[in-house]
Amino acid sequence: MSGALLCGVVNSDCSPVHGTSCHTNIFVTNVITKDWKKLPSRPDMEKPDAVQIHASGECSYTVMVLSHPDPPELKEQSLRLITFQIYESTHRTWTLMELKLHDSILLVYQDAIYNKSNHKFYALYRDVLRSLRTDIAAFELIVYDNVSGCSTRIQLSVPSIRHIDAAYTTGLVECDGDVILVLVTDPMIYSDGDSFDGAIPPWDPMWGVICAFLPSRLPASSVLILKFDQETHGLIPLALGPPCTVNDAYCDRFTSNNSCIYLASSKHNSPVVIYDMREKEWSALSPTCDDSFRQSSGFSLKFESLLVLTSLRFKDS
């Protein structure tokens, strides 16, 4: 979403003959005026992995689509084809850029954002092989410049924030013009000193320990927020939190508004954890607004507007 403009995907032709292949259409709607339109057919109509919209003017916008098509001739090779497709509403046309990665068989797509301050599209991938070989969370960032049409691959490394980081959730957001990487260690309980509640958890064959995933609690200091440095291509740690464990919370959705980063969940009635970059404060928004949710150490309720709507209309709707 960008202002009042909401962009989405609708499946139009999914055939079991082609496996998981789906031809999809992109639509744009204005949530204030209720106007909507289906965008013209793209050069590559495969189902996109990420769709970003940016309102570039009062009556214009840009849509960027990231896809990982899998043609038959590439299935047996360690080669990945990534496509960036850009739609400019002023020209009503799509442009296509294909990027072939010859050493990316163990790159797993994580998230993508469009940074309107520098007109660049950022796609984040987890490097599984490097993560297993070293005591770091290893990523690759593919940056596509919408002005020059060039792309860049950048390797990123994040120091472990716990003694084991086999499982974590990641997200990219744009906040105050910066590209922010959010790394959330999934809550786990181990047999080396921690106690178990309830049934005995399963044995993890990869790490040789007994562990349990607890998706209903966000442990203290399990969220690492880092800023991507545009000059050095490194990551600058900004915050580690929250200051205390948040019960009934699990973060798998990330968004931002002004200087605040929101960590939410697709689960019903899960609290929203908030980090204010300017004030350097952690807070939480409870869905029940119960005073019992208030925490110590300044971790208090804070109500924020998650959507800022502006009055934008289409010329070409």
pLDDT top residue among 198 and 20: 20
pLDDT at site 75:
52
- DSSP code of residue 2: B
pLDDT top residue among 240 and 311: 240
Determine the average pLDDT of the residues in 158-163: 62
How is the chain split into domains, by residue range? Answer: 1-100
Determine the average pLDDT of the residues in 11-22: 57
pLDDT at site 78:
59
- Written as six digits, the tokens of 282 are 């952690």
Mean pLDDT, the chain, rounded, equals 76
Confidence label for 73 from pLDDT (cuts 50, 70 and 90)? low
What is the rounded CA–CA span in Å between residue 4 and residue 31?
A: 6
pLDDT at site 164:
45
99-158 pLDDT, tens per residue?
Answer: 887 766 678 888 998 887 888 899 999 888 777 777 778 899 999 887 888 888 999 988
What is the rounded CA–CA span in Å between residue 301 and residue 291?
A: 8
pLDDT at site 222:
87
259-286 pLDDT, tens per residue?
Answer: 899 998 877 778 899 999 999 999 988 7
- Written as six digits, the tokens of 257 are 């508004």
Highest-pLDDT range among 59-63, 200-204, 208-212, 298-302: 59-63
pLDDT at site 203:
46
Peptide bond connecting 215 to the previous residue in cis, omega within 30 degrees of 0: no
Q: Is residue 64's pLDDT more than 80? A: yes
What is the rounded CA–CA span in Å between residue 121 and residue 128?
A: 22
**Placement of tokens 């980081």 in the chain:** 165
What is the rounded CA–CA span in Å between residue 61 and residue 57?
A: 6
3-state secondary structure of 73: helix
Cβ atoms < 10 Å from Cβ of 132: 11
What is the rounded CA–CA span in Å between residue 14 and residue 46?
A: 10
pLDDT at site 248:
81
% pLDDT > 70, the chain: 70
The residues, any chain, with a CB within 8 Å of residue 91's CB and separated by 6 or more, are none
Confidence label for 13 from pLDDT (cuts 50, 70 and 90)? low
21-37 pLDDT, tens per residue?
Answer: 567 889 999 999 999 99
Determine the average pLDDT of the residues in 253-261: 88
pLDDT at site 178:
93
Beta bridge partners of 185: 168
What is the rounded CA–CA span in Å between residue 11 and residue 21?
A: 10
Please tell me the chain's helix, strand, coil percentages from 3-state DSSP, rounded to the nearest 5.
Answer: 5, 50, 45
- DSSP code of residue 290: -
pLDDT at site 246:
87
Residue burial 32-64, b: 16+ Cβ < 10 Å; e: rest: eeebeeebeebebbbbbbbbbbbbeeeebbbbb
Q: Could you tell me if 238 and 192 are in contact, meaning their C-beta atoms sit under 8 angstroms apart?
A: no
Backbone angles phi, psi at 29, to 5 degrees: -135, 155
pLDDT at site 307:
37
Q: H helices within the chain, ranges in order?
A: 128-133
